[in-house]
C-alpha cells in the first residue's frame, strides 16, 4: 500500500517567481516525514508538488523529477487526476464538502472512481471512519451534514475521506494549525496509527509536533524574503533535534530565529 517518493532537482515557480529551488530527497514508505521551517520557505509549495496540486494555482509550474516507486509523476502521459487519487491530501483548514452528509463526504472519492454497491460503500465508510478514529463519534449521525462537526472532528472526517480511496501516500499540510490542543493530540495519535499503512508527509509549524510524530524531519529555509526556499537538511528526527549537521537548523530549532 505505501510507496517511496524520490525527488531530485525539483524547482517550483509561481509565474516568474521561483518559490523553491533544487530540492532532492527521499521519503521512505510507511514512515512519517515532517517538513519544518520558517514561514514562506516553500514547504507547503513543495508538499503540493508531490501530488501535482501546485499546478492548480494559476502560473504554477514545476521543473525536476518526482518518482513514486520509480514511476515519474511528471512524465509524459501521466494523468494528474490519477496522481491525486494515488497521493491523498489533508489541508490546513478542515474542508468537508458543506452540501454533503458525513457519509457522502467519506464516500465522495469512491463515487468518483466507479460505481459501488451500497453494502460496499457502507463497509468502506465504516472502515475509513474507524481508521480516522471518528466512527464512534459519528456512527449515529452519518446522514447529518459534515459541517456540523467540531473542527477536530471535521479534520478527522477529511482524513477519513482521504484514506477511503486507499492512497499510497498521505500528504498533510499543517493539519493541526486550526485546531485546539485536544483535537491536535487526537490527530497526532491518528498519524501514529496511519503510518502502519501509508507513507505520510506532514508540514508543520510546530516543532514539538514534528518531534513527536515524525520519523524523519526535513528543514527548509530561505536566504531572504523573495528568495526561493531550499532544503537545508533531512535526517532522522532524533538527530535533527539533538545534533543537526547544519548550524542553521540548530539555530531554528533552538529558537534563535524564525
Partner 1 sequence: MSNPVIDKAPANEAPALPSAPLKQPRLPRWAPFGLALASAGIGSGIGLLAGLESRIQWGLIAALLYVALTMLIAGMVEGSRQAKDRLATSVIWVCFLLAIVPLASLVFETVSRGSKVLDGYFLTHSMAGVADLQPGGGIYHALVGTIQQVGLATLIAAPIGLFTAIYLVEYGTGKLAKAVTFFVDVMTGIPSIVAGLFIFSVWLIVLDFNHSGFAGALALAILMMPIVVRSTEEMLKLVPNELREASYALGVPKWRTILKVVLPTAIGGITTGVMLAVARIAGETAPVMLLVWGAMEINNNPFEGPQQSLPYYIWLQWKSGNPHAFDRAWAAALVLIAFVMILNLAARGIARWKAPKTGH
Partner 2 sequence: MDITPTPVRPEPPGERDKSSELAGSTRPGDRIFLALSRGSGITLLVIMATIAAFLTYRAVIALAENDGNFLTTFEWNANADPPVFGIPVLVFGTIVSSIIAMVIAVPVAVGIALFISHYAPRKLATPLAYVIDLLAAVPSIVYGLWGALFLVPHLGGLYEWLDQFFGWTGVFSYDGGAARSLFTVGILLAIMILPIVTNVSREVFKQSPKLHEEAALALGATRWEVIRMSVLPFGRSGVISASMLGLGRALGETMAVATVLSPSFLIQASLLEPGGGTFAQNIAAGFNEATQTGRDALIASGLVLFLITLVVNGAARMVIARHKEYSGANA
Which residue, 209, 220, 215, 214, is CA-closest to 246?
220
Q: How far is the CB of 249 from partner 2 (least distance, A)?
A: 30
Task: List the x/- string, 132-171, binding to partner 1 by CB under 8 A.
Answer: ---------------------------------xx-x---
**Residue 93 binding target from partner 2, partner 1, none, CB below 5 to 8 Å by type:** partner 2
Task: Give every strand in the sheet of 169-173, ordered side by side.
Answer: 71-72, 60-68, 5-14, 17-27, 229-236, 216-222, 32-36, 199-203, 169-173, 87-90
Pick what 56 binds: partner 2, partner 1, none; C-beta below 5 to 8 Å, kind-dependent.
partner 2
Backbone torsions φ then ψ of 221, nearest 5 degrees: -155, 165
Interacting positions 222-251 with partner 1 (CB under 8 A): none
**CB of 156 vs partner 1, minimal distance in Å:** 18
Three-state DSSP class for residue 130: helix
Nearer to partner 1, 107 or 240 (CB): 107
Nearer to partner 1 by Cβ, of 198 and 220: the residue is 198
Q: Rounded to an integer, what is the distance from CA 190 to the centroid of its chain?
A: 13
Q: How many other C-beta atoms are found inside a 10 Å radius of the C-beta of residue 184?
A: 18
Beta-bridged to residue 13, according to DSSP, are 18, 61
Q: How far is the CB of 97 from partner 2 (least distance, A)?
A: 6
x/- site string to partner 1, residues 39 to 78, per CB under 8 A? -----------------------------x--x-x-x-xx
Nearest residue (CB) to partner 1, 86 versus 206: 86
Give the interface with partner 2 as residue ranges (CB under 8 A).
51, 53, 56, 58, 81-86, 88-89, 91, 93-99, 108-109, 112-113, 147, 154, 158, 161-162, 165
Which residue do the cell numbers 517567481 mark?
17
Measured from the CB atom, the residue of 56 and 123 that comes closer to partner 1 is: 123
Query: Which pairing describes strands 32-36 and 87-90: parallel, antiparallel, or unpaired?
Result: unpaired
Residue nearer to partner 2 on the CB measure, 100 or 185: 100
Cα 104 to Cα 191: distance, rounded to the nearest angstrom:
23
- Grid cell of 104 as nine digits: 457522502
- Per partner kind, with CB cut-offs from 5 to 8 A, the member of partner 1, partner 2, none near residue 116 is partner 1
SS3 145: strand
Element (H, E) at 229: strand 229-236
User: HSE-up of 118 (CA within 13 Å, CB side)?
Assistant: 0
Contact positions vs partner 1 (CB under 8 A): 1, 68, 71, 73, 75, 77-79, 81-83, 85-86, 110, 112-114, 116, 119-120, 123-124, 126-127, 130, 165-166, 168, 197
Amino acid at each position: 500500500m505505501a510507496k517511496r517518493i524520490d525527488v531530485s532537482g525539483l524547482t517550483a515557480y509561481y509565474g516568474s517567481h521561483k518559490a523553491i529551488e533544487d530540492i532532492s530527497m527521499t521519503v521512505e514508505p510507511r514512515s512519517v516525514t515532517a517538513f519544518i521551517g520558517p514561514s514562506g520557505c516553500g514547504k507547503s509549495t513543495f508538499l503540493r508538488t508531490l501530488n501535482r496540486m501546485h499546478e492548480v494555482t494559476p502560473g504554477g509550474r514545476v521543473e525536476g523529477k518526482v518518482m513514486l516507486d520509480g514511476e515519474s509523476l511528471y512524465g509524459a502521459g501521466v494523468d494528474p487526476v490519477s496522481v491525486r487519487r494515488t497521493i491523498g491530501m489533508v489541508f490546513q483548514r478542515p474542508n468537508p464538502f458543506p452540501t454533503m452528509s458525513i457519509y457522502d463526504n467519506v464516500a465522495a472519492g469512491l463515487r468518483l472512481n466507479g460505481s459501488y454497491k451500497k453494502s460496499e460503500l457502507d463497509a468502506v465508510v465504516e472502515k475509513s471512519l474507524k481508521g480516522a478514529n471518528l466512527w464512534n463519534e459519528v456512527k449515529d449521525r452519518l446522514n447529518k451534514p459534515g459541517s456540523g462537526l467540531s473542527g477536530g472532528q471535521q479534520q478527522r472526517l477529511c482524513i477519513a475521506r482521504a484514506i477511503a480511496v486507499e492512497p499510497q501516500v498521505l500528504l498533510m499540510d499543517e493539519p493541526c494549525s486550526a485546531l485546539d490542543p485536544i483535537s491536535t493530540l487526537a490527530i497526532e495519535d491518528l498519524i501514529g496509527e496511519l503510518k502502519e499503512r501509508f507513507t505520510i508527509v506532514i508540514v508543520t509549524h510546530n516543532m514539538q509536533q514534528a518531534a513527536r510524530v515524525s520519523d524523519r524531519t526535513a528543514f527548509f529555509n530561505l536566504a531572504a524574503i523573495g528568495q526561493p526556499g531550499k532544503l537545508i537538511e533531512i535526517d532522522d528526527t532524533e538527530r535533527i533535534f539533538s545534533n543537526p549537521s547544519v548550524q542553521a537548523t540548530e539555530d531554528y530549532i533552538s529558537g534563535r530565529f524564525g
